[in-house]
Structure 1
Amino acid sequence: MSLSYGIQLPVQSQSTLYAEPWEAAAGPEDLVALARAADRAGFAYLACCDHVGVPRRLAPAMSTVWYDPVATLAHLAAVTERIRLLSHVAVVGLRHPLLSAKQYATVDHLSGGRLILGVGAGHVREEFEALGVDFERRGQVLDESIDALRAALGPEEFPEHHGKLYDFEGLGQQPRPAQQRVPVWVGGSSPAAVRRAALKGDGWLPQGDPRDRLPAQIARIRELREQAGRQEPFVVGAIPEPLYVGTPAWHVGRRTISGPPEALAESLRAYRAMGVHQIQVRFRSRSRTELVDQMTAFGAEVAPCLD
């Protein structure tokens, strides 16, 4: 399998961990321009995050700018042609699975089958408490939510699920997803998240694992899947260091990988050697124009050298 590349779009989430200063004044037109640039440049997917509300104690670090992933992905589906649409990650335990299924099935239907449902357990206690969901049991909630969503996003017009937390049957939902099976990628890097990805997911979305930690995590996933007899295709992801194509004329940070296209490609090929199938890239930039230029250069000059 060749090494594909996707992008978590800027603007739609503005945590101080990664947002660039120019994003604060950006808006919908910037998101559309960047989504179209990613589509043209051969990116496999564009991704949007999910937070319902950010408590005051976390707002200085996280900010409160978090676009709704369903609304954002549906909007961007209408202005792109082939790029896939990833929720990275939807905290599906905050919502009833039938509600999530209705929303994401509609996105898949409207986009012609381009949805990838990325899910995660969540980490903000106040969100769970405000919405009446047990924060301490969020792992168990996510486990059953995945099972319920598998049923509700399947081919049946009247899906059925009987579990400890959710119980439904006899309620029809149309439109159905355009895909026969909507891929579910599980986010997280804790032992529980890795196990969940291996046993319940079609892919794994690590959250900040450095390069030296990935091989052991990937080996663990393979071990768990082998023990469970799972032989279906499985997509392993990674999030590399920030990138800058070319020689920057400004300080892009000590962790940023910069230089000529082949140098970037050589660094990124190491992920494929580990067993990674897709990388989620991020570029340093001072404006939308510079980011579009970076994405375009990556697609034209770096991507052909990844394999």
Structure 2
Amino acid sequence: MSLRIGLVSPVVTANPGAHQPWEAEAGIEGLARIATVADGLGFDHLTCSEHVAVPRAVAAERGATYWDPLATLGYLAARTERIRLATQVLVLGYHHPLEIAKRYGTLDVVSGGRVVLGLGVGSLEEEFALLGATFEGRGAIADDALAALRASLGRRTPSYAGTHYSFDDVVVEPHAVQDRVPLWIGGRTPRSLRRALALGDGWVPFGLGLSALTEMLANAELPEGFEVVLSPGRPVDVLGDRDATATRLRRVLDAGATMISTAVHATSADHYCEQLAALAAVGEEIG
């Protein structure tokens, strides 16, 4: 496939208004089948988001089902060969950087170097409180965590001295096998884009229209190789309207995307796999 397309994985989240009825029954085997088909068709990546414990009052808006990304992507790593495995996103404030480096470095080993770390500052204050994480000043903490991660990933004996994290004379084994694990920064503000440009390898925004994204990207100087991972919004339905799908994908590229990450409309796992084949064909045509 010439056009690089990643998939917002079905099954693993249940956001109100976006979750499709068949996903509740599909389970890990349904997801693994979809992952295997996507792997064979040449899709770039699969995603898995993170929430640990969502307060009931918040769950009505954000959903309550969030599969753990490490366990989920570890299972999918064993069922696939090429497709990348992307957290979208881990909340930096919930973890020590060495915890991420060790756990996802191990995933990088067992997957043969296919991990992409999507990372975010986080916005759910109630969850920060539940986990004993610091909410106020979380942006500065996240910036230091990103620098600490960059100093740690792929290194057996990392060391770092920053404003919030400091470590030395430690061994992290196993560690990531990629020379540079891609760090994609999530968010929806100009600050998140600046953070991505300064400390990451890509930007994966959410909740923004294409006009806003086009304007933000037009005012940014993107380094060579920097990934801009944008979504067409609602799930694509290639079999329902192929031409409309192609038009939507082209608009995302025109907005400044280097890669597209999309949800897919389906009524079953079988239908999802059929949609993937059609989407891969459209990706070849667009190039």
TM-score scaled by structure 1? 0.89
Closer, same or farther: CA 233–215 of 1 in aligned 2, 3 Å: same
Corresponding residue of 1:274? 255
SS in 2 for 1:180: coil
Corresponding residue of 2:107? 107
Q: Is the 8 A contact 2:48 2:86 kept in 1?
A: yes
Q: Which runs of 4+ in 1 moved over 3 A?
A: none
Corresponding residue of 2:11? 11
Deviation, structure 1 residue 174: 1.1
Identify the range of structure 1 (111-120 vs 62-71) with the bigger mean alpha-carbon deviation: 62-71
Closer, same or farther: CA 294–118 of 1 in aligned 2, 3 Å: same
Please give the alpha-carbon distance, in whole angstroms, between the structure 2 residues aligned to 1:281 and 1:53. 25
Q: Is the 8 A contact 1:49 1:87 kept in 2?
A: yes
Deviation, structure 1 residue 263: 4.3
Deviation, structure 1 residue 26: 2.6
- Unaligned 5+ residue runs, structure 2? none
SS in 2 for 1:102: helix
Deviation, structure 1 residue 221: 2.9
SS in 2 for 1:243: coil
**What does 1:167-246 correspond to in 2, within 5 Å?**
167-222=166-221, 231-241=223-233, 242-246=235-239
SS in 2 for 1:303: helix
Please give the alpha-carbon distance, in whole angstroms, between the structure 1 residues aligned to 2:224 and 2:103. 26
Closer, same or farther: CA 75–33 of 1 in aligned 2, 3 Å: same
SS in 2 for 1:194: helix
Please give the alpha-carbon distance, in whole angstroms, between the structure 1 residues aligned to 2:171 and 2:209. 44
Q: Is the 8 A contact 1:117 1:183 kept in 2?
A: yes
**What does 1:48-63 correspond to in 2, within 5 Å?**
48-63=48-63
Please give the alpha-carbon distance, in whole angstroms, between the structure 1 residues aligned to 2:41 and 2:184. 23
Q: Is the 8 A contact 2:101 2:175 kept in 1?
A: no
Q: Is the 8 A contact 2:231 2:262 kept in 1?
A: yes
Identify the range of structure 1 (127-136 vs 45-54) with the bigger mean alpha-carbon deviation: 127-136
Please give the alpha-carbon distance, in whole angstroms, between the structure 1 residues aligned to 2:204 and 2:215. 15
Q: Does 1:96 align with 2:96?
A: yes
Deviation, structure 1 residue 272: 2.3
Q: Deviations over 1:135-169 (max 9, x none)?
A: 12221121111111111104x31101111211101
Please give the alpha-carbon distance, in whole angstroms, between the structure 1 residues aligned to 2:158 and 2:70. 21
- Unaligned 5+ residue runs, structure 1? 226-230, 248-258
Identify the range of structure 1 (171-180 vs 264-273) with the bigger mean alpha-carbon deviation: 264-273
Please give the alpha-carbon distance, in whole angstroms, between the structure 1 residues aligned to 2:60 and 2:11. 16
Q: Deviations over 1:178-233 (max 9, x none)?
A: 110101010111122111112111000011221111211112332xx5xxxxx442
Please give the alpha-carbon distance, in whole angstroms, between the structure 2 residues aligned to 1:129 and 1:171. 30
| More RCO (CA 8 Å, sep 6+) | 2
Q: Is the 8 A contact 1:9 1:48 kept in 2?
A: yes
1:219 partner amino acid: A
Q: Does 1:34 align with 2:34?
A: yes
Q: Deviations over 1:226-259 (max 9, x none)?
A: xxxxx44201111103211133xxxxxxxxxxx1
Root-mean-square deviation (CA, aligned residues, Å) is: 1.5
Q: Would you say how many aligned residue pairs link Structure 1 and Structure 2?
A: 285
TM-score scaled by structure 2? 0.94
Identity between Structure 1 and Structure 2 (%)? 40
2:250 partner amino acid: R
Q: Does 1:82 align with 2:62?
A: no
Q: Is the 8 A contact 1:266 1:306 kept in 2?
A: no
Q: Does 1:25 align with 2:29?
A: no
Corresponding residue of 1:141? 141
2:278 to 283, 288, 297: 297
2:198 partner amino acid: L
Please give the alpha-carbon distance, in whole angstroms, between the structure 1 residues aligned to 2:125 and 2:244. 42
Deviation, structure 1 residue 10: 0.9
Q: Deviations over 1:34-55 (max 9, x none)?
A: 1112112211000100001100
